Amino acid sequence: MKRFWPLGFLGILGFFGIHFLSQGKWAAALMILCFGFFAFFLPLVPKK
């Protein structure tokens, strides 16, 4: 089950991103997308 949490996380971020975009709040949508990108890819980066 732990393997699927990023999908739900991205789904929630996508929902909020679209919600803010529909209201014309580009800055908030970009912040959410950047946060989601880092939160999703940082755990995938191998630790040194």
* Model pTM score: 0.50
**What's the token pair of residue 5?**
């949490």
How do the pLDDT tens digits run along the chain, 48 residues long? 566 667 777 788 888 888 888 898 888 888 888 887 787 777 777 766
Name the strand (E) or helix (H) holding 22: helix 5-22
